[in-house]
Amino acid sequence: MRMPEVDQAVLARRDAIVAALRAIVPGEGVIDEESALRPYESDALTAYRQPPMVVVLPETVEQVAAILRWCHDNNVKVVPRGAGTSLSGGSLPLADAVLLGMSKFNRILAIDYRDRVAVVQPGVTNLAITKAVEGEGFYYAPDPSSQIACSIGGNVAENAGGVHCLKYGVTTNNVLGVEFVTIEGEVLRLGGRQLEPSGLDLLGIIVGSEGLLGVVTEVTVRILPRPETARALLIGFASVASAASCVTEIIASGIIPAGMEMMDKPAIHAAEAFVQVGYPLDVEALLIVELDGPSAECDHLIDEVQRIASGQGAVSCRASTSESERLAFWAGRKAAFPAMGRVAPDYYCMDGTIPRGRLVEVLERISALSTEHDLAVANVFHAGDGNLHPLILYDANNPGELERAEAFGSDILRLCVAVGGVLTGEHGVGVEKRDLMPVMFSESDLAQQQRVKCAFDPQSLLNPGKVFPVLHRCAELGRMHVHKGALPHPELPRF
Ligand SMILES: Cc1cc2nc3c(=O)[nH]c(=O)nc-3n(C[C@H](O)[C@H](O)[C@H](O)COP(=O)(O)OP(=O)(O)OC[C@H]3O[C@@H](n4cnc5c(N)ncnc54)[C@H](O)[C@@H]3O)c2cc1C
């Protein structure tokens, strides 16, 4: 993995940088001992590791602003970090950068049930928002499987999705406002409790910006009343193809389930061995379909989905009859990634999204690619959204297997783009998909995206090496001729 060249001049200033950070964040908020930096060396894409130059853990917005301003003025790179569960290497440290950890921003600041919003600090975990409001019958809808650990700041940066995003939208549809600090240390507020932005939709740019544009220090999210009823169906199929066409038929019939997930045989067996929730082991594919709403509507939709499933050749079907049974259906799905740890020492989780109508052919091609690359694959994914998560199983201790897993992953993502899909559904580009960006975007598309980056961070100090395969100097993108460092028309603002 090629990363930006390490700036030796910055490393030579390390002691002075640590001292400057200690002056901003006194006490134990700065970590510079080698052994204490190790826990930060990777996020959940553990194939890539790099201890950071130094970690700083601010506690106030003023400290975040002062750190960013100091780094900007002293030309030091910054990598923002939430809980470090990114699967795309988004929060992978750099050897010559400050890792800015937001874990101490862990307070819920306000809950307003009348306006149906919660205002939270970015280090609050996704699940903690629901826990804070569930006593009043509310919840926060986007539910990544990592919700027990991942932070809402990380969710905003990655535009995270989850099982219930098919019906309720992903993070961008559930965030109303942010407080956000630029690399120059300016504190901005975008959006708020109102439903419409006051000008250009800058909030839409910040959500999904992968730590490249600034640091989120506060998030206002929508909270929703819990639906009166929720029931889930566990539907088994004799082939992946019939499960995939059932997904297409359910959506085509006009039903939008609260969640619709698919697991193939290897995933079913691994999850069942891990959590023993009674998944059928004699099927090739399993759909978990959740319906919610008033109980009469829910019962009607359960019947409708069962009818469609049997028309598509379902070989087994169980409907949950209690809340504990519904949760048990989901427990296997939510534990499917960790369950893979029992099957193979390492797995590489892909995240492409395709039009739902192409599911059958894409899953068949992934199976053929598994043979070509001689690596096993398990599929567990958000079928309703067409968001695939093939888990490529490998052993990093076997020479060459990581490279084969990467080549297999790259083929899967190219395939997603070839059938009209996109490189990422919810995990972001990070370092993982960075070099595949030209498969999806033309050079001028990429240049336009980088102009947005330049507007926020002209020196490219925030999370460099992520998302863009080649980071152009902002002056190049403005097509300026800079002679001996002198800008033409210095009186004009530059982007
Ligand atoms: C087992 C497992 C299951 C997962 N399931 C899902 C899933 O179902 N859906 C899904 O969407 N993702 C899933 N993920 C991926 C991951 O949990 C999400 O991408 C999550 O949003 C990352 O949050 P984090 O706090 O860990 O962020 P980090 O990993 O710390 O950072 C991720 C990115 O956000 C940036 N960032 C973090 N905090 C801030 C901030 N305050 N301001 C600006 N930038 C910031 C970082 O620079 C980095 O680019 C899963 C991960 C694991 C390990």
Q: What is the pLDDT of residue 68?
A: 98
**CA-only gyration radius of the chain, Å:** 23
Name the residue ranges covered by the structural domains of the chain: 8-101, 108-225, 229-337, 344-418, 441-479
Contacts of 64 (CB under 8 A, 6+ apart): 58, 100, 181, 215, 217
DSSP, collapsed to helix, strand or coil, labels residue 477 as: helix
Nearest ligand 1 atom to alpha carbon 81 = 30
Q: What is the pLDDT of residue 320?
A: 95
Q: With the C-alpha atoms ordered 54, 55, 61, 63, is the resulting torsion angle positive or negative?
A: negative
Residue 452 Cα to ligand 1 middle (Å): 22
Low-confidence ranges of the chain (pLDDT < 70): 197, 471-472, 475-495
Domain 8-101 classification at class level = alpha beta
Q: What is the pLDDT of residue 382?
A: 94
Contacts of 157 (CB under 8 A, 6+ apart): 80, 82, 90, 208, 209, 210, 211, 216, 428
Nearest ligand 1 atom to alpha carbon 102 = 41
Q: What is the pLDDT of residue 490?
A: 54
DSSP character string of 263-329: EEHHHHHHHHHHH-----SS-SEEEEEEEEESHHHHHHHHHHHHHHHHHTTEEEEEE--SHHHHHHH
Domain 344-418 classification at class level = alpha beta
Contacts of 177 (CB under 8 A, 6+ apart): 189, 190, 191, 192, 193, 203, 219, 220
Residue 89 Cα to ligand 1 middle (Å): 9
The full length of the chain comes to 495
Q: Say how many C-beta atoms besides its own lie within 10 A of residue 224's C-beta.
A: 17
Contacts of 372 (CB under 8 A, 6+ apart): none
Q: How many Å is the maximal CA-CA distance in the chain?
A: 74
pLDDT digits (tens, 9 = 90+) for 168-198: 999 999 999 999 999 999 999 999 887 776 7
Where do we find the tokens 């053929």? 368
Residue 75 Cα to ligand 1 middle (Å): 26
Q: Contact, 3 vs 77, CB < 8 A?
A: no
- In this chain, the answer to whether the domains covering 8-101 and 108-225 adopt an identical fold is no
Residue type at 105 in one-letter notation: F
Residue 86 Cα to ligand 1 middle (Å): 4
Q: How far apart are CA 151 and CA 132, in angstroms?
A: 15
Task: Provide residues with CB under 6 Å of ligand 1.
Answer: 43-44, 79-87, 90-91, 102, 122, 144-146, 150-151, 153-155, 157-158, 160-162, 210-211, 215-216, 337, 426-427, 463
Q: How far apart are CA 228 and CA 292, in angstroms?
A: 7
Residue type at 165 in one-letter notation: C
Q: What is the pLDDT of residue 493?
A: 39
Among the four given CATH numbers 3.40.50.720, 1.10.1740.110, 3.30.70.3450, 3.40.50.1370, the one describing domain 229-337? 3.30.70.3450
Q: How far apart are CA 313 and CA 330, in angstroms?
A: 23
Write the CATH number of the domain with boundaries 108-225: 3.30.465.10
Which DSSP symbol is given to 151?
A: B
Stated pTM of the model: 0.92
pLDDT digits (tens, 9 = 90+) for 400-458: 999 999 999 999 999 999 999 999 999 999 999 999 999 999 999 999 999 999 999 99
User: Strand 97-101 relative to strand 77-81: parallel, antiparallel, unpaired?
Assistant: parallel
Q: What is the pLDDT of residue 111?
A: 98
Question: Hey, which of 91, 140, 179, 429 would you mutate to test ligand 1's pocket, going by the most ligand atoms within 8 Å of its Cβ?
Answer: 91
The closest of 155, 123, 128, 153 to 59, measured between CA atoms, is: 123
Where do we find the tokens 């990070």? 430
Q: How far apart are CA 324 and CA 328, in angstroms?
A: 6
Contacts of 275 (CB under 8 A, 6+ apart): 331, 332, 335, 339
The closest of 169, 33, 145 to 381, measured between CA atoms, is: 145
